[in-house]
């Protein structure tokens, strides 16, 4: 087990003249000056972790240096998760070439003149220029998918400098430890050779975002070993999550929620002032490889498996297919081979031409189904410049077992008026249902209403429900039919004989008003989602959700819940914020980090929440 590294927190300063610095996400993304002006502040914010290390007289952490070494005064910084390389220490205006190699094969190159920064002449590739890019801003012709183990070579002024990319990764997501109250962020720190990087070397951990009242910046209070993973570590942010810069009006709960929900986490080593010869850092859970904003003209064709057909899960629905169709991307390849599990490799068919390519391959399903159940790796090998390079693989889940049918409660029967219905299934299964007159189609993996909470049915209606497991296997259909109950037989009350009260004062019993009527125990129908609106550019970042009151069904509304779903291209939307509003509201302006969002709304009564509304149109928080 590695030694724990305990860090000071909440007492930082932003004075670049008195402290060491780290690269900052919002600076790298949005504060780039046009390099034609030959001036740009690169290192922007303080790292308390780095202060702790340098203040104790410790040497900055070192990345894995390549065979050519790195000249004194020269720095190579690598952000492999966003395919960015920055190099510093060159004379202003001197041409600098940056190359990336994998297995001695060049996969990316960029050349430009060093521009002026407070840390000397620099070239930053795939950083994201403001305005039109100039030479060296973007990778030339193709953005490489930089990975651990790749060699980065910087050549200028007759010197060759090399660093090998280490394996730094934020595995996320940020989670709240229920026992300690710490917000915990997990990651892996290994050298290129697979050795554990000491925890004390992770001197550039940080979180940064913008809250409603201003900027929030925090270093982890501690970075501790995660013994369950080789090279694993856990960054811990402890209550009250003050950070070294917190808005005066923010609460501990707001700062905690930001740490849990934002994509502003970063970690690395060597980003200290003065810069060491080499440094590396990764940031964010949602950052992705590819051209930075402003570099879209440089195509991105990863050597990767990107799709399978009929499904990424081999299940009961797909076993009738004759072949497993596999597709992907490559760049400047002369051949591509695909291997599914331990089956023999098969050649892929490449698209014609050079540069960015696509490819397809077919494997007989009869062979695929001979593999054992479980995760099956689909690997690719591309041949480029006469060398075989491994591309990014995909994972299939071979699962032929259908889940159990869900339970509908109550499971049909005679009812008077509306009844609230609840559906349950095995943990992890998605429940889908339809409601109709009994002749409606049963739900499928893509049709029907996802069950999110109780809903109402009336006499003459039938519920059909299925469970869908993680491999897209479908259960048998559960059917619950509801009929009209016969009217209740009313027995006339027995009238007691009239008696004459005795003389004297009479005692009148008090009138007791019963609690709220039965209508307060009815689950409301779902609201109708309205047209969402993007926020105004400049100032606080906001977006507005609107909705219409649900149709009346006897429920007494207590309010609404509104949730903002952050749109993540290529994957499912993520719930970013959930707020409760008063029953009379039909719109809500939310303060959100910059990004794309959809909204959903549901009505709340004392009996529970309605189903969530449909998702709104996409809007921008700005």
Q: Are residues 367 and 413 in the same domain?
A: no
Which CATH number characterizes residue 342's domain? Answer: 2.60.40.650
Q: How many CB atoms lie within 10 A of CB 617?
A: 12
Q: Are residues 527 and 610 in the same domain?
A: yes
Q: Are residues 312 and 379 in the same domain?
A: yes
Residue 368: inside a domain, yes or no? yes
Which domain covers residue 561, as residue numbers? 521-621
pLDDT at 316: 72
**What span, in angstroms and rounded, lies between the C-alpha atoms of 171 and 178?**
20
Which CATH number characterizes residue 572's domain? Answer: 2.60.40.10
Residue 39: inside a domain, yes or no? no
pLDDT at 386: 86
Residue 472: inside a domain, yes or no? yes
Mean pLDDT, 10 residues at a time, over the chain (622 residues)? Answer: 41 30 30 29 33 39 85 92 93 96 92 88 91 93 92 95 94 89 94 91 89 88 93 94 88 91 85 81 83 90 86 73 91 94 96 89 92 90 90 87 93 92 91 95 92 93 93 91 85 70 53 42 89 79 90 86 86 82 88 88 88 90 78
Between the alpha carbon of residue 13 and those of residues 139, 480, 564, the distances in Å are 35, 64, 33
Q: Please identify, among 355, 375, 397, the residue that sits at the C-terminal boundary of a domain.
A: 397
pLDDT at 46: 30
- The distance between the two most distant Cα atoms of the chain, rounded to a whole number of Å, is 123
Q: Is the pTM of this model over 0.75?
A: no
Residue 612: inside a domain, yes or no? yes
Q: Are residues 365 and 327 in the same domain?
A: yes
Q: Please identify, among 378, 397, 416, the residue that sits at the C-terminal boundary of a domain.
A: 397
572, burial (CB in 10 Å: exposed 0-12, middle 13-18, buried 19+): exposed
Q: Are residues 376 and 412 in the same domain?
A: no
Q: Are residues 382 and 411 in the same domain?
A: no
Question: Hey, is 410 helix, strand or coil?
Answer: coil
Q: Are residues 344 and 411 in the same domain?
A: no
Q: Please identify, among 377, 397, 417, the residue that sits at the C-terminal boundary of a domain.
A: 397
Q: Are residues 346 and 427 in the same domain?
A: no
Residue 153: inside a domain, yes or no? no
Q: Which parts of 249-322 are beta strand (E)?
A: 265-269, 278-283, 304-309, 313-314
pLDDT at 374: 86
Residue 81: inside a domain, yes or no? no
pLDDT at 367: 92
**What span, in angstroms and rounded, lies between the C-alpha atoms of 378 and 393?**
6
Cβ-contact 524, 557 below 8 angstroms: yes
Residue 253: inside a domain, yes or no? no
pLDDT at 423: 95
pLDDT at 380: 95
Q: How many CB atoms lie within 10 A of CB 237?
A: 28
Residue 382: inside a domain, yes or no? yes
Which CATH number characterizes residue 425's domain? Answer: 2.60.40
Nearest alpha carbon to residue 602 among 541, 516, 524, 545:
524
Q: How many CB atoms lie within 10 A of CB 125?
A: 29
Which residues does residue 433 pair with via DSSP β-bridges, in sequence order?
449, 465
Q: Which two tokens stand for residue 273?
A: 């002032």
Q: Are residues 464 and 373 in the same domain?
A: no
**What span, in angstroms and rounded, lies between the C-alpha atoms of 122 and 67?**
22
pLDDT at 35: 33
The total of structural domains in the chain comes to: 3
């Amino acid at each position: 087990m590695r030694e724990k590294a305990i860090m000071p927190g909440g007492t930082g300063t932003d004075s670049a003249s008195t402290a060491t610095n780290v690269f900052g996400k919002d600076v790298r993304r949005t504060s780039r000056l046009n390099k034609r002006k030959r001036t740009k502040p690169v290192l922007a914010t303080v790292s308390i972790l780095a202060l702790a290390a340098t203040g104790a007289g410790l040497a900055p952490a070192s990345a894995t240096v390549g065979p050519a070494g790195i000249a004194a005064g020269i720095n190579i910084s690598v952000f492999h998760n966003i395919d960015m390389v920055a190099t510093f220490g060159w004379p202003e205006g001197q041409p600098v070439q940056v190359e990336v190699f994998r297995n001695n094969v060049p996969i990316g190159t960029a050349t430009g003149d060093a521009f002026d920064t407070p840390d000397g002449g620099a070239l930053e590739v795939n950083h994201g220029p403001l305005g039109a890019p100039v030479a060296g801003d973007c990778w030339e012709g193709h953005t490489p998918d930089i990975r651990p183990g790749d060699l980065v070579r910087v050549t200028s002024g007759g010197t060759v400098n090399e660093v090998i990319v280490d394996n730094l990764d934020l595995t996320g997501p940020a989670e709240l430890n229920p026992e300690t109250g710490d917000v915990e962020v997990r990651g892996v720190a290994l050298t290129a050779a697979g050795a554990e990087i000491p925890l004390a070397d992770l001197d550039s951990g940080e979180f940064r975002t913008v809250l409603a009242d201003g900027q929030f910046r925090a270093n982890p209070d501690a970075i501790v070993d995660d013994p369950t993973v080789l090279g694993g570590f856990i960054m811990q942010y402890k209550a009250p999550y003050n950070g070294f810069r917190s808005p005066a009006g923010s609460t501990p709960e707001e700062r905690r929620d930001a740490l849990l929900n934002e994509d502003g986490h970063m970690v690395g080593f060597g980003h200290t002032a003065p810069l060491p010869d080499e440094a590396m850092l990764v940031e964010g859970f949602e950052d992705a490889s590819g051209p930075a904003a402003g570099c879209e003209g440089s195509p991105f064709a990863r050597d990767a498996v990107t799709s399978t057909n009929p499904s990424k899960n081999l299940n009961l629905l797909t076993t009738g297919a004759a072949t497993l169709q596999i597709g992907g991307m490559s760049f400047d390849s002369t051949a591509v081979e695909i291997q599914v599990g331990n089956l023999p490799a098969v050649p892929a068919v490449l698209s014609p031409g050079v540069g960015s390519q696509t490819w397809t391959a077919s494997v007989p399903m009869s062979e695929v189904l001979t593999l054992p159940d479980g995760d099956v790796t689909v690997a690719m090998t591309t041949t480029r410049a006469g060398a075989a390079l491994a591309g990014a693989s995909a994972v299939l889940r071979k699962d032929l077992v259908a889940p159990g049918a869900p339970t509908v409660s109550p499971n049909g029967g005679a009812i008077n008026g509306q009844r609230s219905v609840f559906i349950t299934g095995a943990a992890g299964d998605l429940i889908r249902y339809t409601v109709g007159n009994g002749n409606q189609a049963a739900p499928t993996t893509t049709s029907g209403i996802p069950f999110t909470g109780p809903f109402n049915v009336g006499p003459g209606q039938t519920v059909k429900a299925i469970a869908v497991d993680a491999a897209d296997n479908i259960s048998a259909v559960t059917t619950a039919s509801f009929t009209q109950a016969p009217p209740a037989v009313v027995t006339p009350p027995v009238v007691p004989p009239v008696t004459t009260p005795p003389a004297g004062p009479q005692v009148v019993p008090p009138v007791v008003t019963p609690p709220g009527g039965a209508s307060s125990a009815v689950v409301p129908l779902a609201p109708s989602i309205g047209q969402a609106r993007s926020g105004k550019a400049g100032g606080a970042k906001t977006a507005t959700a609107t909705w219409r009151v649900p149709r009346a069904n006897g429920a007494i509304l207590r309010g609404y819940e509104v949730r903002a779903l952050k749109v993540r291209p290529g994957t499912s939307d993520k719930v970013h914020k959930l707020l409760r509003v008063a029953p009379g509201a039909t719109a809500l302006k939310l303060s959100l980090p910059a990004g794309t969002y959809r909204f959903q709304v549901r009505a709340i009564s004392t009996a529970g929440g309605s189903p969530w509304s449909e998702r709104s149109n996409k809007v921008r928080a700005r």
